[in-house]
Structure 1
Amino acid sequence: MKIAIITVTENGKILGESLQNKLLTDNTIIKVQIFHKNVKKTLINSFNKFDCIIGIMATGIMVRNICPLIKTKENDPAVLIIDEKGKHVISLLSGHLGGANKLTHKIADLMGSDPVITTSTDLNSKFGVDCLANKYHFKLIPVSNIKSINSSLINDQKVWIDYNSNYEYLWEDTEVSDSYEHGNNHSQKLLVSNGISDLELVEKKIVLGLGSRKNISTEKVLKAIYLAIANLDIPIERINTLTTGEMKKNEHGILEAAKTINKPLKIISESELKNFTNPDMNDSEFVKSKFGIGGVCEPSSLIEAGTKSRLILRKTSYDGVTVAIALSFN
């Protein structure tokens, strides 16, 4: 997640800098940038470039300035408000699909603040279908049917998920199993229905990129993979593809790890890695001096995920193995 923090007072700026430092210890946070004052101009320039906007300011200031920028539930970024004393963290916009509610709780925990959540499904302890989509990185088709499904959940009416065995992991999630019932048709699609409206959940492609020391063991690669997906709170079944660079194409530990978890392994050529650029990547001087490229796991994951992909886990080292995870937005 890429986050913009906008402040308007000196106390707010100090709080923003403290929050920035805390957020950057989380490898699922890709970038945190602070903007001071010029709220209207900053929002115009950043609203569609960041996954989340955090305003350390009065709620009214943010509301007046984001109104002309809001477009659709599926595309708007998460928007949070924090008072300059850090007492409250408010989820203002895109609580579910944009992840604002989840981030509100995370920031409140980091700061010792009170989270303020107003969405009905959360208040009624129901796992909204848009929360399900956010957690497991699904597209919802059509988005217009979210309201009907969530209304049924809130009113304790039957909502079921029709699925095949590829999605069995959903029922290991207590939030899912407490809110939904099993479907009966075992469709080839993942469908959520209340008998009136249907929603199809379509996987966005998730690619896990790998780099490693020479002669790394299979066990270390597997351990790194499972630690990485634990950071994202997703099961191994949700990973679509593994990838690495051409210089690692014969690395036994990586090859065997892919076989063990039964995932395709895509090899990215050195020339593709050298020519690929992305402002969110973290280059390694060691890798650059040895192979002439800035890294392996981040660029290979982004290349394989597609032209509009984003990192959802930045390069993280686990005992000789580096892992990055990219999500397709194609």
Structure 2
Amino acid sequence: MKIAIISITEQGQLISDKLYSNLENNPLILHVQQYHKNVKETIKNIFNEYDCIIGIMASGIMIRSIAPYVNSKLSDPAILLVDDNGNFVISLLSGHFGGANNLTHKIADIIDATPVITTSTDVNNKIGIDSIAKHYYCSLENTGNIKFINRALVDDRKVELYLPSKFSFILTDSVRDSYNIHIDNTLEMIVSEIDGHKVILKPRRLVMGIGARKNIATSKVEHAVLEACKILEVPVDRIDLFATADVKAKEQGILDVMSKYDKILEIVEMSDIKNYENNDISKSDFVMKQFGVKGVCEPACLIVNGDNSELIFKKTAYNGVTIAVSVNNN
């Protein structure tokens, strides 16, 4: 996720600084950029470049600035508003599939503010079908039917939800309270339906890249994998493939974890990693000196995941192990 923070006043700049310092080291946030003043011009230049834009300003300024560029709740960035005293954080746009509602709670926690959510499903303690898709890395089909599903939830009607068994982990209390659950081992996709209106959630492929020191202990690899999954809020079973470089292909610690969780480890040639270009990849001076490449875990997971993939978990070190995760957006 890439986040832009726009402030206008000196007080707003202080809030921006606090958010920046808290967000820049979050594994789920690839890039945070601060902007100050020139709101309309800034919005014009960045609206489609960031996953979330946080405006520390009056709502009217932000609404007028984003109005020419708003297109769809399925593609617009999350837009959050913070007042100049940091009392409230408002989810303004793309609350569900853009993730604004969830981000609003997280930003409010950082600055000790009150989150303001206005989407009907959320205020009625229901979880919208598009929120499920966002949270668990799924694409949506039959998007015109989302409104029928979510409206039924708000009206306190139980909506049918058909899950592959590997997705039973999503059965939180709020999901159980919102849907009639059906587990079907033959399914490859998640299906929700009400009155003949069907929405399909197709799981996007997740690939976890692993780098490690020589002769790394199995326990350290497993700890790193589990910690990354905890932050992503998914079980290891949700990770479709693992990836590493050929120089790490025989690391027993990595192989042991693959065997324990019955996972496939894809091997990427160092020459492919060396030639791979992606602006989101971080550089390790140690890895560059040792192997002549910027890194292992990030390019490995992106290469294996193929075209139109992006990082959702940037390189994070866990006691000799580095982890990164990519999602394929096809």
TM-score range relative to shorter protein: over 0.9
User: Could you tell me how far apart the structure 1 residues matched to 2:125 and 2:60 are?
Assistant: 28
Read off the aligned partner of 2:221 and give its amino acid letter: V
User: Could you tell me how far apart the structure 1 residues matched to 2:184 and 2:294 are?
Assistant: 49
Q: Is the CA contact (8 Å cut-off) linking 1:163 and 1:187 kept in structure 2?
A: no
Runs of 4+ residues deviating >4 angstroms = 184-187
Read off the aligned partner of 1:266 and give its amino acid letter: E
User: Could you tell me how far apart the structure 1 residues matched to 2:77 and 2:300 are?
Assistant: 26
User: Could you tell me how far apart the structure 1 residues matched to 2:269 and 2:122 are?
Assistant: 46
Q: Which runs of 5+ in 2 are unaligned?
A: none
Q: What TM-score does the superposition give when structure 2 sets the normalisation length?
A: 0.96
Does residue 190 (structure 1) correspond to residue 190 (structure 2)? The answer is yes
Aligned to 1:174: 173
| 1:276-295 CA distance string (max 9 Å, x none) | 12222221100000000111
Aligned to 1:70: 70
User: Could you tell me how far apart the structure 1 residues matched to 2:109 and 2:207 are?
Assistant: 29
Does residue 41 (structure 1) correspond to residue 41 (structure 2)? The answer is yes
Aligned to 1:82: 82
**How many equivalent residue pairs?**
329
Aligned to 1:307: 307
Q: What TM-score does the superposition give when structure 1 sets the normalisation length?
A: 0.96
Read off the aligned partner of 2:38 and give its amino acid letter: N
User: Could you tell me how far apart the structure 2 residues matched to 1:256 and 1:186 are?
Assistant: 27
Task: Give the C-alpha shift of residue 97 in structure 1.
Answer: 0.4
| 1:184-223 CA distance string (max 9 Å, x none) | 7665232111133111110111111100011112222111
When the two chains are superposed, the root-mean-square deviation of aligned CA atoms in Å is 1.4
Task: Give the C-alpha shift of residue 231 in structure 1.
Answer: 0.7
Q: Is the CA contact (8 Å cut-off) linking 1:210 and 1:324 kept in structure 2?
A: yes
Q: Is the CA contact (8 Å cut-off) linking 1:243 and 1:300 kept in structure 2?
A: yes
Q: Is the CA contact (8 Å cut-off) linking 2:166 and 2:238 kept in structure 1?
A: no
User: Could you tell me how far apart the structure 1 residues matched to 2:174 and 2:49 are?
Assistant: 31
Q: Which runs of 5+ in 1 are unaligned?
A: none
Does residue 16 (structure 1) correspond to residue 31 (structure 2)? The answer is no
| 1:4-29 CA distance string (max 9 Å, x none) | 01112222122211210011232211
Give the 3-state SS of the residue equivalent to 1:183 in structure 2. Answer: strand
Q: How does 1:68-217 map to 2 (within 5 A)?
A: 68-171=68-171, 173-183=172-182, 188=187, 189-217=189-217
Q: Is the CA contact (8 Å cut-off) linking 2:168 and 2:183 kept in structure 1?
A: no
| 1:266-285 CA distance string (max 9 Å, x none) | 11111111111222222110
Read off the aligned partner of 1:175 and give its amino acid letter: S
My pick for the range that moved more, 117-126 or 42-51, is 42-51
User: Could you tell me how far apart the structure 1 residues matched to 2:102 and 2:183 are?
Assistant: 31
